[in-house]
Structure 1
Amino acid sequence: MDIRSVDLNLLVLFDAMARLRSVNKTAEEIGLSQSATSGALARLREVFDDALFVRTASRMEPTPRALELAPAVHRVVQAIQSEILQQPSFDPLRAERTFTILTPDIGEVAFLPGVLRRMRQEAPRVQLHAVSRPRAAAAESLEKGEADLAVGFFPDLQRAGYFQQALFTSSYACVACARNEAAGDRMTLKQYLAARHVVVRPDGREHLLDRYLDDKGWHRAVTLELSHFMSLASILPGSDLVATVPQDIATVLGRLVKVREIALPFRPPQLQVRQFWHRRMQNDPANRWLRDVFYAVNRRDAGAGMPL
């Protein structure tokens, strides 16, 4: 028998008949008229080339073939109802799984602490895996399911096939060692460009501030280039270097080491921090829960700083 020739609705009818042994009761349960149910029963008999259910004085009795089929058909109908047609759900309190988050090291220090505190209460057995990817690889990681969410500044993901949600808008700050006598609280543009800069380019990529300065024709005197923002916590103290970093990094550095924030001699570009996910995950309950947590914890009003 070719499965393509079988109407699966007939299996629902068979299961009801095997349990109820009545055309009238079966019609009521599956929502068909008595005549439609009788017609469907005739098609079912044709498919299996067997009478299946025979009328007796009190009810419809199953044939040996029907008795043989009944357990298997019931399992199929139950599986379809409970596993295929069941609305997907996600229970964070009972879930045991790992979510992979694409974010640079700035995201690890700015976004994850609050999320972890929330997860400890809501999802104690859920794990997070934070990874950094080059800009070109972020889209591929989300598309292939290698990552569940990207959080941060990802302009390359603002395209078809990806959803996004704004978290907050931030900017840049210039910081130096608090004991750096060469750096006051303010610099002219000439002094800023001539200062000894340490520049952080995660994954070796150009960033928004680099493009902004290049468009202005301004070139800094770069003494050191790093791949990780948090390396500044050991580089800046005792040095005469200055670093222009996202405001969240300046805040974190100020909590770790003694730094001085220097007013920039220009208005820096704004950083639009968002979370991104591939359209495949739009209706996934687990991914939706993860997005809701990141949004609830990390969304900020305009002008608000990084939370403690």
Structure 2
Amino acid sequence: MRIDLDLNLLKTLIVLTEKQNLNKAGVVLGLTESAVSKQLNRLREQLNDDLFVRMSGKFEPTDYTVSILPKIKMALTDIEETVVPSIFEPSKYVEPIHIALPDLVMEKFGIGFYERLLMAFPNAPITIHSWGDDTETKIIAGDVNLGIHLFNPDRSMSIYQQKLSDDKLVIAVAKQHGHCTWDDVKDWPFIKQRAIGWNEQKFQFIYHLHNKGIDLNYSHDIDTASFALKLMQRQKVANVLPHLLLSEDLIQVEGSEFVSYDTIWATNTRLTDRKSPLYQYLHRLFFELIS
């Protein structure tokens, strides 16, 4: 038989059993003596038992109340543990953690982020992956806990994107080539950085430049970030890079600010994991690193 019970009434039952007095129970519950009495009457009707008998000025629980009380306490405890988030302790987390980073992010922040992860999660296996063609699929499947990339409005709705930082795509060169202005660099050869997941932003940036009457000379077609950055050090070549990822060896070209393009960095996780303590901790850890 199904009985519809107000959980607050069960809490009243527990407190009244302990205090054996309507007024004292009301103090604990934040209710008036009259309100506690009304709750008791409702509970008596629903459970079809007196529940308490007044003896010598005290409310003594009936045998029925004594018999059901342990199960009620256990049930309410289980419910509270279910609906109240537990404190997340990364030092006690033991499940594998998988992080996906684009190559350029790996170059600038990979080591620092990895070291922070090792310190925060000493008992968890940690794997850092390069963002690849199948990364979005792995995020949706829950095989990648956190991915870092530029915000993409066309990304799958099954992926939750949370803002990390505003940024700009800028024209950059190696600092060692000396003081360079836009007039110097606009005719330099440029690197076409073939990084997975950047295409949407690149096309928008190229269209943005085209509207300003600028067509860059893409002479170097390169896949890996490390190779592109080394080439920038060795030759007078320019690159379009997120400003946040510029190392101490790279600078934004003076006078090229007018071609900068606004963008946003975001963490990516499975939509159903957006409120998980693990994801929220990982997001905060990377946010602190880049802030």
Query: TM-score, with normalisation over the residues of structure 1?
Result: 0.66
Counterpart-to-counterpart distance in 2, 1:220 and 1:28: 75
RMSD of aligned Cα (Å): 4.6
Number of the residue aligned with 2:59: 60
Q: Is the 8 A contact 2:186 2:216 kept in 1?
A: no
How do 1:83-98 residues align onto structure 2 when only pairs under 5 Å count?
83-84=82-83, 86=84, 88-97=86-95
What is the number of equivalent residue pairs in this alignment?
A: 278
Number of the residue aligned with 2:192: 199
Counterpart-to-counterpart distance in 1, 2:54 and 2:196: 76
Structure 1 gap ranges (5+): 179-184, 255-259, 300-308
The secondary structure found in structure 2 opposite 1:93 is helix
Number of the residue aligned with 2:104: 106
Match status 1:244 vs 2:239: yes
Which amino acid letter does the alignment assign opposite residue 199 of structure 1? Answer: K
Shift of 1:89: 3.3
Is the alpha carbon distance of 1:30 and 1:201 closer, same or farther for their aligned partners in structure 2, counting shifts above 3 Å?
same
Structure 2 gap ranges (5+): none
The secondary structure found in structure 2 opposite 1:32 is coil
Counterpart-to-counterpart distance in 2, 1:88 and 1:47: 33
Q: Is the 8 A contact 1:114 1:298 kept in 2?
A: no
Q: Identify which of 221, 226, 229 aligns with 1:225.
A: 221
Is the alpha carbon distance of 1:54 and 1:232 closer, same or farther for their aligned partners in structure 2, counting shifts above 3 Å?
same
Shift of 1:8: 1.3
Which amino acid letter does the alignment assign opposite residue 2 of structure 2? Answer: D
The secondary structure found in structure 1 opposite 2:50 is coil
Shift of 1:12: 0.6
Number of the residue aligned with 1:37: 36
Q: Is the 8 A contact 2:150 2:265 kept in 1?
A: yes
Shift of 1:44: 1.2
Q: Is the 8 A contact 1:98 1:129 kept in 2?
A: no
Is the alpha carbon distance of 1:27 and 1:273 closer, same or farther for their aligned partners in structure 2, counting shifts above 3 Å?
closer
Shift of 1:69: 0.7
Provide Cα deviations, 1:244-279, integer angstroms capped at 9, x if missing partner. 242677748x6xxxxx99968955525645335689
Number of the residue aligned with 2:153: 156
Is the alpha carbon distance of 1:271 and 1:21 closer, same or farther for their aligned partners in structure 2, counting shifts above 3 Å?
same
Counterpart-to-counterpart distance in 2, 1:75 and 1:250: 56
Indicate the percent of aligned positions where both proteins have the same amino acid. 20
Q: Is the 8 A contact 1:102 1:149 kept in 2?
A: yes
Provide Cα deviations, 1:68-90, integer angstroms capped at 9, x if missing partner. 21111111222334442x35533
Q: Identify which of 111, 116, 119 aligns with 2:117.
A: 119
Number of the residue aligned with 1:80: 79
Provide Cα deviations, 1:193-237, integer angstroms capped at 9, x if missing partner. xx4x54113237251543344334544554553443234368x49
Counterpart-to-counterpart distance in 2, 1:202 and 1:14: 63
Provide Cα deviations, 1:140-191, integer angstroms capped at 9, x if missing partner. 9888877665544325389x9865242655623246xx9xxxxxx8885784
Which amino acid letter does the alignment assign opposite residue 296 of structure 1? Answer: E
Counterpart-to-counterpart distance in 2, 1:190 and 1:66: 85
Which amino acid letter does the alignment assign opposite residue 117 of structure 2? Answer: M
Number of the residue aligned with 2:285: 293
Is the alpha carbon distance of 1:12 and 1:281 closer, same or farther for their aligned partners in structure 2, counting shifts above 3 Å?
same
Which amino acid letter does the alignment assign opposite residue 20 of structure 1? Answer: K
Counterpart-to-counterpart distance in 1, 2:8 and 2:54: 22
Q: Identify which of 258, 262, 265 aligns with 1:274.
A: 265
